[in-house]
Amino acid sequence: MAITRRDLLLTGTAAAALPALGSSLGSPGGVSLIGAARAQSATELPWRHALSLFGDIKYPADFKRFDYVNPEAPKGGVARLISIGTFDNFNLAVSGIKGSLAPAAAMIYETLMTRALDEVATEYGELAEAAQHPDDFSWVIYRLRKEARWHDGKPVTPEDVIFSLETFKQQSPMYASYYRHVTKAEKVGEREVKFSFDGPGNRELPTIVGELTVLPKHWWEGTDAQGRKRDVGVTTLEIPLGSGPYRIKEFVAGRSVKLERVKDHWGASLPSQIGTNNFDELRFEFFRDNIVALEAFKADQADWIAENSAKQWATAYDFPAVAEKRVIKEEFPINDSGRMQAFVVNNRRPQFKDARVRRAFNYAFDFEEMNKQLFFGQYKRINSYFEGTELAATGLPEGEELQILETVKDKVPPEVFTTPYQNPVGGTSEAVRANLREAAKLLKEAGFEVRDHKLVDASGKVLTVEILVQDPSSERIALFYKPSLERIGVNASVRTVDDAQYQNRLRSFDFDMIIDQWGESLSPGNEQREYWSSQTADVPGARNTIGIKNPAVDALIEKVIFAKNRAGLVAATRALDRVLLWNFYVVPQFTYSFSRYARWDRFSHAEPMAKYGRSGLPTLWWYDAEKAARIGKRS
């Protein structure tokens, strides 16, 4: 399935993007976009079959399918998938603030546009057949397909689209921020919806609106089987109505969900759907932890398993089915995004407001020894908030990046201009001692001293840190880090809580330190506000878990959002990355540039895989009866 900016936001703890306002921009040709907009009306604008952030579109209007699919892929079979955790909700609208959403729930819906997996930032029509917008991006109109239908046979209407936008904005802070700058949605034709924005020049807004998941207004405003009026503002385990290629067939609360393919799906012949959604049934089995899930996989109770543990990948897959090639281990390159994963100190806490304290915590982290002991040397240290992409800052700033940084020179650390960022390197006793000495020096400069083996401030208060985690894998990482913090005098502890308590404490920013991660698309933009801006630092449930309030960061986010071309976007993002790094907001951890999967060898996919599609599971795969016969029946 396509990875969108919204998907990356949803993989975190809470809310999505908060688009920024900015001044009007000049067009590449030097013509004022505002002036151009005044001369343009909807009747003069072309209808577009696809939208791209900077205009590069691979597939023409009459394209038949994406290049990375097999149009002859057989339909049929069952795929049994693993989900970690539990669920008590099918209502997507409140997923960020209430209950635990079943991941399968999102698969029954569709969006106005859908992403191509072999392009950086291009969307093609799904529920909408075309879109139009002026040169200044101040509004967009989407025209729905006349054949688009809900599973009950009723058409998808502009009223559904408007209802969906209003619902998401009203019910979830996540979506309220994501669609913040959509000021109005109105029906302007039998199948046309116009979205107006609160300022020109934000080229992402038309495509962000294209990611809108459309909900059935008539269903949510109706009554259930017991005659009770439905409420889109609460969690529900009533099977909802969708329009997508799958519907929920049955479920066991908290344990399993079965999806069945809609045999007469209205969009099966769309170019964006040819060769996809090939399984007759998708079964999601929920497990409380990865160890139990792996044992179920070994017993052939599941067909696929994603492995996030380097130790497990190296040591736990030595059972007979692997040796017999009935189970295949495969790594898929992650080309569609970058990420920052880190220990996060809560900058809202007074003891962490000084950057020297935060930097000292980085000097106390011996990644190299952790990588050796816990991860079999498989990981590399993260050195960028956009790790794994061309957007990562390297060396010293130059060219357009330097020009951008000059605009905030008085608000950023001087090292931004003089010194390439680099994490401390450990791994040997000499290096560790040197790093700890540097940490102690920084803490002393920040006003702390060691008394009776404890680090105290000028008032005698001990520097105490509780590392809050929610699962065993995070716990062992935190426990490895804890002794290093204690060596510099920090009173450190690790507390593991259940998922519900963890989410509640995260949403209210009730923590000293957590492990967090932020996914980054190849075209960052409005979501950067949600991640790092002053406006979101105190918004409950926001993704700015760090609590950053920095005018330089705010200004650089504006530069990212209002970049006029790809080169400008890369330069602005690198500038933002560099400033975030030199403020030492986090202790960067580690990453791996592949996703690891093991599977029972019953399935096939087209070659080559989509560049930005990762594993392509389950959308691009199909059940291979010949392979299945070779390895034997399922348990």
Give tens-digit pLDDT for 169-204. 999 877 887 788 999 999 999 999 999 999 999 999
- pLDDT above 70 covers what percent of the chain? 93
**Residue predicted with more confidence, 138 or 96:** 138
Name residues whose C-beta falls within 8 Å of residue 602's C-beta, 6 or more positions apart in sequence. Answer: 77, 303, 623, 624, 627, 628, 631
**Tokens matching residue 461:** 């208060």
Residue 14 is classified by DSSP as S
Which tokens belong to 633? 């029946």
Task: Give the model confidence (pLDDT) of 281-302 as tens digits.
Answer: 999 999 988 899 999 999 999 9
Cα–Cα distance for residue pair 456/100, rounded to 1 Å:
40
What is the pLDDT at residue 53?
Answer: 86
Per-residue pLDDT averaged across 149-173, rounded?
96
The band of 267, judged by pLDDT with boundaries at 50, 70 and 90, is very high
Strands 464-469 and 513-521 come out as: parallel
Residue 348 has, within 13 A of its CA and on its CB side, a CA count of 17
pLDDT bucket at 574, cuts 50 / 70 / 90: very high
What are phi and psi for residue 255, nearest 5 degrees?
-125, -40
Q: Which of 22-26, 402-406, 494-498, 559-563 has the lowest mean pLDDT?
A: 22-26
**Predicted local distance difference test score (pLDDT) of residue 41:** 66
Type and span of the H or E element at 304: strand 304-307
Q: Residue 334: which of 516, 518, 80, 522 has the closest Cα?
A: 522
- For 324-329, which contacts have Cβ atoms below 8 Å and span 24 or more sequence positions? 325/601, 326/600, 326/601, 326/631, 326/632, 327/598, 327/599, 327/600, 327/601, 328/598, 328/599, 328/600, 328/601, 329/596, 329/597, 329/598
| CA–CA dist 635, 622 (Å, integer) | 20
Is residue 5 very low, low, confident or very high in pLDDT (cuts 50, 70, 90)? low
The per-residue pLDDT for range 37-47, each reduced to its tens digit, is 334 566 789 99
- When the pLDDT of each residue in the chain is averaged and rounded to a whole number, the result is 91
Task: Using a pLDDT cut of 90, give the percent of the chain over it.
Answer: 84
